[in-house]
Amino acid sequence: MSVVTRFAPSPTGRVHVGNLRTALHNWLFARQQGGRFLLRIDDTDQARSEERFVTAIRADLQWLGLDWDGEVRQSERFGLYEEQFAKLRATGRVYPCYETPQELELKRKVQLGRGLPPVYDRAALNLTDADRVKLEGEGVQPHWRFKLDHDAPIVWDDLIRGPQRFDPKLMSDPVVRRADGSWLYLLPSVIDDIDMGISHVVRGEDHVSNTAAQVQMFQALGALPPAFAHEALLTGSAGKLSKRLGATDVDHWRETGTEPLALAAKLARIGTSLPVEPVTTMTPLLERFDFASFGRAPARFDEAELAKLNAQTVHLMNYDQVAERLPAGMDARAWEAVRPNLERVADAADWWHVVEGPVDAETAEEDRDFLRAAVDAARTIDWGGDPWHALTGALKESTGRKGKPLFLPLRRALTGREHGPDMAALLPLIGRDRALARLEAAAHG
């Protein structure tokens, strides 16, 4: 069977980290299996859908490194929904209901008060044609429910959760169409999945009860249901996913300097038995993607852990991957020199400023004679080889200093900082003239 997956966001807002995780898992599985990954814009809610969010969804997926093999929009498929709805109506699998929201809420409260599950009582099925004509003559427009088959349990073997079993008698017939004719999520999604040839539906476990109803919708429309994989939801480091993180869109990750590959590596592996580790391409994530590795417990998303992973990712990136984001004049040698000290690619600009100067160095009084000796040594060493070790070697011999008293005053004078990249890599970038000027300024400042 050819694998076809889909990501189906609603353009009523920006996608957040949980949405990105769902999109990524669908993409990884499709690409691993040599299948197709489709984008479906679920814009049936035309009052709340906005074109700017459609544009943002595409841009956000591209930022994460996800491409897609086709795109459809539900707002362009209403004719197909009407056609399939008519089939269900003809076979009695959808039926009109006339209760108001207030009446339904009262029914639910009565059932709960009696210790019964708040399941719709199917009262609308007892209405006669004359009853319906009378109600509609009074201006009451019906909403429509899908009639569940109560004769057999609903079962499927979930790729993550294992065997699933639902008793349809304990479920309400789901509303599939509102009184104003607009569609709810469940039925159009099934119709689209059939029409698009979706083989696997990968989504959050909050959709499990929807899936139970949709399994019968597939069957009622004469189609085999796809395979389902319901993954555990994300939680924040303190438990439930915070509203802030739940509302965080891709702009946040861009602004904080998060590498797309770092976020992808995090989202691909959290909640699984596989290690979360830095990658430089999607290939390792593709190769080891396996629904069998997914756990049932909520997956904890910790932004502090992501920041560490981001730094590890930056440390693995080669010059070609970052060249366009580096300051003018910063070459591969400079990138490799500063890379181990970066948390974000943007931080390279700080170290390039250290290289080009000027720097502001503070010198302790007891180090001034030592730095004057450093000026003399710097004038005589070979700058074409390894100037740092030549300089420190000469000063160790002439002053007797070693360890921190030897290295730290030099680092302060040359960079204005006490910590940073390996000076053996940094000093050749600073160069002879700038180094001499800085040492002289520190010695006499």
Number of H helices and E strands in the chain, helices first, is 19, 13
C-alpha to C-alpha distance for 75 and 45, rounded to whole angstroms? 9
Q: Is 308 annotated as a binding residue?
A: no
Q: Is-contact 39 19, C-beta < 8 A?
A: no
Type of residue numbered 81: Y
For 227, phi then psi, to 5°, come to: -75, 145
DSSP type of residue 188: H
Q: Is-contact 120 145, C-beta < 8 A?
A: yes
Closest of 138, 189, 173, 132 to residue 8, by C-alpha:
189
C-alpha to C-alpha distance for 218 and 149, rounded to whole angstroms? 12
28-66 CB burial, b ≥16 within 10 A, e <16: bbbbebebbbbbbbbbbbeeebeeebbebbeebbeebeb
CA 179 to the chain's CA centroid:
36
Ramachandran region of residue 253, left (φ > 0), alpha (ψ -120 to 50) or beta? alpha
C-alpha to C-alpha distance for 230 and 26, rounded to whole angstroms? 12
Neighbours of 377 (CB within 10 A): 19
What string of DSSP letters covers 233-280?
A: PEEETTEEPPHHHHT-BHHHHHHTT--HHHHHHHHHHTTBSS-----S
Closest of 305, 288, 302 to residue 236, by C-alpha:
302
Residues placed in the known binding site: 243
Residues placed in the known binding site for ATP: 243
